[in-house]
A and B are shown apart, each in its own frame.
Chain A
Amino acid sequence: MSRPTDLVQGTLDLLVLKMLAIEPLNGWAISQRLKQMSKDVLQVSDGSLYPALHKLEQEGWITAEWKASENNRRAKFYSLTRAGRKVLEREIEQWDRLSRAISAIVKLREA
C-alpha cells in the first residue's frame, strides 16, 4: 500500500510543519525538499503528500493561499499558522525528549 504508516505519517507532519516554518511553499516544492532531505526514509508516492497537507490545513495548523508560481501558473502556497507553530514547538520538544531518552538508553547499553 502506498499509504504511509502511522509512524512515518507523524514524522511527515513534523517535517512539513518544520519546512513551512522557514518559508511558505507550494506542494511540489515541499515534495522536492522532502525527497532531498530524506530520500531513503520516506518511500512514498508524491501524491500521498497532498491528503497529508489537506489534513494539516483542515486542522488549522497551516493555511493556504493561491499565488503565481515561478513559471507563472496558479499555485497553492502553504504557510504555518499560529496554532501550527505551537504544535510544531510541542512536537519538536517531544521529539527531543524522545530522542534524548532513546540515545540515553542506547548509551547505557554501550557502557
Chain B
Amino acid sequence: MSLARWRYRIPQWLRRVFRVRDIERDLDDEIRDHVESQTAANIANGMPPHAARRAALVAFGGVERVKDESRDVRRVPFVEGFANLRHAARALRRAPAYTLACVATIALAVGAGSTVFTLVDTVLLRPLPYPESDRLVGLWHTFPGIGLMLVGQAEGTYLSYRSATQSFESIGAYGGGVATVEVPGSSRSPDRLNVSWVTASLFQTLKAHPIVGRLFNDADERGDAHLVAVLSEPFWRTHFNADPNVAGHTLRVDGINTEILGVLPASFSFPRSDVGVWVTFTVPRIPYLGSFYFRAVGRLRPGVTPEAARAELQRILMRVAERYPEQRAGVSTAEALRKAHAEVVLRRLRDDAIGSVARNLWLVAGVVALLGFVALGNIASLTLARVEARQRELAVRVTLGASRMRVWWILASESAIVSIAGGVVGTLLGSTALTLLGRLGPTSMPDPIAGGDSQTIIPRLVEVHPDAVFVATAIVLTAAFCVVATSIGAWRLASADAARLVREGGRAGTGSRGTQRTRSVLVAADVALSFVLLAGTGVLARSLIRLSAIRPGFDTENVLTFGTSAPPWIYVSGVQVRQFYRRALEAAQQIDGVESAAFITKLPLAGWWGALPIFADDAALTGGGMPPITGVSYVGGEYFATMRIPIVTGRSFLDEGFDRGNNEAVVSRAFSKLYWNDPTGARALGKRIRSDVNGPWYTIVGIVGDVRDTALTSPPPAKVYFPGEGRNMFFAVRTRGAVPRLARSLERAIHSVDPSAPFSDVHPMAELVSNAGIRLRFILLLLGVGAIATLTLGVVGLYGVVAYVVGFRAREIGIRIALGLQPNRAVTMIVRQGFVVIGTGVVVGILAFVGFSKLLRAVAFDVSVVDAASLALAAGVVLAISMIATWAPARRAGRIDPAEALKSD
C-alpha cells in the first residue's frame, strides 16, 4: 500500500474511531439528500409527491443495508472492536451462566498456567543469581571402592587444586552450621542461626559484591588478625536497623568477638537462603590429606569445558599422594585413594542447586498443561454451543443486512470480554499463589551428600515472585483463549450457510453433523484428561500412604526436640561442656510429665550428616586402606529409651553415657550386618571399633534397631553411637501424654542451667518425620487440586453440552413423544448417546495414562504406577460423575411437553 493512501486512510480511521456520531450523521444526511433529490426529480417528471418519494426509496434499495455496507467499508481493523464491546457486554449480561463458566474456566487456566510456568522458569530454566553462573561448578569426589558415592573436599585436595589448576579462574571453599550469634550491648537474647563459613575466594568465585563495607580478602582468610564476618541483608536490618555504618561493629559468634566488615545484598543466597552471617574459613595447611568435610565451588575459565577441567583435577588428584604420602598415621594416601577408586566429580552448580526437583516440577507442569487443554476444550464447546443457540439471532441479523464480518466482530468482542475478564482474575489468582509460594520458607542448596533434598519443598523458592515472565505468560494464555473462542465461532459461522440459517432458523435442531462430532470429541477429550489426572492423583496418594506407613525405626509420639549450645565463653573445656549438658539433662528430666530425656549430635531425618571411617578389631576390614564411612552420633541420656529404638542385643550405655572410662559403643543392626554379616548382633557384641587409627578402642556393648537417619525413603544406614557431646546438641524429650506448655518449661530448664544458653529449633519429632515427606505431599496437593479442577471443568463442559443438546432436540423429542415414545425412553436415549462418548473418553484416558506413567514413576514411592485396581477406581469415579452430569440435564428430555415443543416455533 502506498504512502499516499495512508495519508487519507489514517485520518479517516481516527475519525471513524473518535467521531462515530459524526459519521453516522453524515451517512444519514447523504442518503436523505439523495432520496430528496430523487423525489424532487420524480415530482418534476409529473409524479404525485408521496408516490414520488416511495419511488425514490424503492430505487435506492434497502437503506439499512446500504448503511451497513458503508460501515463495513470504513471498518478499522482491531480498533473497530471497541465499538462492538458495548454490544457484546450487553449480550453477555443476558447469558450469565455462559459468561461465568467461561470466565471461571479461563481464570483457572490462566492462573495455574502462568504460575507454574513462572515456577518452572525461575527454578529450572533461569540461570542462578550469580554473574556468568554457567561457568560455576561444584567440586566433588566419588569413592566407589569404599561405598562413598559423593564427598566434598579435604584440606589436601582443596589446597592442591587451588594452587595447581589452570582450568579455573578461582575456587572457593565453604561449609555451614548453626551458631549462637549475639550483638554485644544489645538487649536481644542470643540467636541460634545459620552461619556459613567461607573462604575469601568463595565470594570472588561467585562474584558477590557488598552493599555496605567490604567482603573478605586474602589477609582475612589467613586469619592472622582477628575474626571477621559479613552480614546478610535481613540480619543487618533486624539487628542493626540497616545502619550504613555497621562496618567495624563487633558481633559475638559462638562467643568469639568478630568484626563486621560489610553486608551482602538481599539477593545473595549461598549456600542457604537463610544464612544470617558469613565468617571466614581458613583451610588449615596440614601435613596429610585430611578428611573430606567441606565443599568447594569453582569458576571455570571462559572456554574451558567441565570435562577438560575434570581431567585436569583428576591428574592433580593422582599426584596428591606425592605431596601427602601419609593419610593419617600408618595409612598410605596412594593406597587409600587406589582402594577407594577415587575420582573427581564436577557438577554444574545449577544442577546441584536444582537437585531432584526438576522431575517433580515437570510433572506439575504436565498436569497444568492437561488442565489447560481441558479448559481450552471447555471454552471451545461452550462457545460452540452458544453460537448454535444463537443461530436464529445471527440468521436474523444476516437477513437484515448485517455482513458476516459484522457478526464475526460481535462474536470476537464477546470472546475478548470473557477472555480478558478471565485473564485478569487468573493473573490476580496467580500472583497471589506465587507470592505465597515465595514465602514457603527458606531454601538451602540441596545437599547431594546427604543423598536427599526431599526436606526442601522446592529449591530457589525465594527467587520466585510474580515478574515480567509471569505477566507475559498470563497475557499469552489469555490471548490463546480469546483466539480459540473467536476462531471456533468464526469457523461455525463460516460453515453455516446464511440461506440455510434463514430457512431453518432455530429449527436446525442439533446443528450440523460436523459440529456435533466436534462437540463429542471435545467431551471425550475432557473425560480422558480428567481420568489421567485422577489416576495420577491416585498413584501419588497411594505413595503417600506407603510413605506414612514407613516405620522410621523410632516412636515419634510424645517426643519434643530442641537445640541448644554450651556458651563457649563460659564452658571452655570438654569437661565443662559435659557438665553443662549433664545439668541441662537433669533439669529437663525433672519437669513434670517428662518420662525421659536425651541429647544427640544429630536427630534422625534432620541436620547435617556426620560420618567417619570406622575401623574394626577384625582383620577382614582393617588393612592399609580406608574402611567404610559410617554415620556417627554422640549421645547422652536415655537416648534409645526416649526414641524407643529397640535394643536387639546387649545394653545401652552405663550411667546415661556419662561414664566415659569404659569406652563403650553401641552400633545399629545394619552396622553389624555390614561388618560381620550378622543382623542378630550376637557376633558384634564385644568387638572393638575406633574411628581414629591412633585412638582408643571402643567396645560394642549393645546392638540397636535400625533408624532411617537421612531420609524416610532411603534405607536405614549403618550407624555407630558413642557416648559424648559436642558444643551444639539436640535434645529429645519424651513425655507421658501431652504436657501443656512443655516448650516453655524446657526453655526455663535450660536457662536455669545457664541464662545465656540458646533454646531453638523446637519441633515435635513427628513434625521432623512429616517434613521428610513434604515434597511428595506438596506435589500431591498440587496434583490433587489439578485433578479436581480438571474434573470440575470436565463436568461443567459435559453438563453444558448435554443441556444444549436436549434444548436443541426438544422439538424432535417432542415429536417422538407425540408419536408414542415413552418419556423415560427419551432420557435413556440421550444418556446412552452420552455414554458412548464418555466411555470412549475413559478408554483414551487409560491409554494416555500409560504414556504419562513414566513421568509419574519418578515421583511415585514404592507403588506400581499402572495398577489395575486404582485404574478401575479412577475410571469408576470419572464414569459416575460424567453420567450424573449427563443424566441431570437429560431428565429434561423426559419432561418435554410435545404440544409445547411443536408450538414453540
Task: Give the B-binding residues of A (Cβ under 8 A).
Answer: 2, 26-28, 31-32, 45-48, 50-51, 54-55, 57-60, 63, 66, 69, 71, 73-76, 81-83
Contact = CB atoms under 8 A, between A and B. Distances in A.
Given A28-B34, A63-B8, 19 more contacts: A2-B62, A28-B33, A28-B38, A31-B34, A45-B59, A45-B61, A46-B59, A51-B69, A51-B72, A54-B70, A55-B73, A60-B5, A69-B37, A74-B33, A75-B30, A75-B33, A76-B26, A83-B2, A83-B4
B705 to A, nearest CB: 89
16 contacts: A26-B37, A45-B61, A46-B38, A50-B31, A50-B70, A51-B66, A54-B70, A58-B73, A59-B8, A71-B40, A73-B36, A74-B33, A75-B33, A76-B26, A76-B29, A82-B4
Contacts of A81: 8
The interface centre, meaning the residue of B31, B34, B70 with most chain A CB atoms within 10 A of its CB, is: B34
Nearest to B9: A60
A83 B26 contact: no
A47 B61 contact: yes
Interface string B1-40: 0101111110010000000000000100111011011101
Contacts of A63: 8
A56 to B, nearest CB: 9
Contact of A57 (B7, B12, B29, B72): B12
Nearest to A48: B61
B293 interface: no
A58 B59 contact: no
A67 B40 CA distance: 19
Given A46-B60, A47-B63, A28 B37 contact: yes
A82 B5 CA distance: 10
A60 B38 CA distance: 28
Contacts, number: 87
The interface centre, meaning the residue of B2, B6, B36, B69 with most chain A CB atoms within 10 A of its CB, is: B69
A11 to B, nearest CB: 18
Nearest to B36: A73
Contact of B30 (A27, A46, A83): A27
B33 A27 contact: yes
A32 B44 CA distance: 14
B403 to A, nearest CB: 10
Contacts of B59: 45-46
A88 to B, nearest CB: 14
The interface centre, meaning the residue of B6, B33, B72 with most chain A CB atoms within 10 A of its CB, is: B33
A83 B9 CA distance: 12
A55 B12 CA distance: 11
A62 B7 CA distance: 12
B65 interface: yes
A57 to B, nearest CB: 7
A78 to B, nearest CB: 10
Contacts of A58: 8-9, 12, 73-74
A31 B70 CA distance: 16
A60 B4 contact: yes
Contact of B60 (A47, A57, A73): A47
A58 B34 CA distance: 20
B61 A2 contact: yes
A50 B8 contact: no
Interface string B731-771: 00000000000000000000000000000000000000000
Contacts of B8: 57-60, 63, 81, 83
A75 to B, nearest CB: 5
A25 to B, nearest CB: 12
Interface in B58-102: 59-63, 65-66, 69-70, 72-74
B62 A47 contact: yes
B72 A71 contact: no
A47 B65 contact: yes
A59 B5 contact: yes
Contact of A48 (B5, B9, B12, B66): B66
B10 to A, nearest CB: 10
The 8 A-B residue pairs with the shortest CB-CB distance, nearest first, are: A60-B8, A45-B61, A47-B66, A47-B61, A51-B69, A28-B37, A47-B60, A60-B5
A54 B72 CA distance: 10
A32 B8 CA distance: 27
Nearest to A51: B69
A66 B8 CA distance: 17
B66 to A, nearest CB: 4
Contact of A71 (B5, B37, B65, B66): B37
Given A28-B34, A47-B60, A59 B2 contact: no
The interface centre, meaning the residue of A31, A50, A63, A74 with most chain B CB atoms within 10 A of its CB, is: A50
Contact of B66 (A50, A59, A66, A73): A50
Nearest to A83: B4
B275 to A, nearest CB: 67
B159 to A, nearest CB: 80
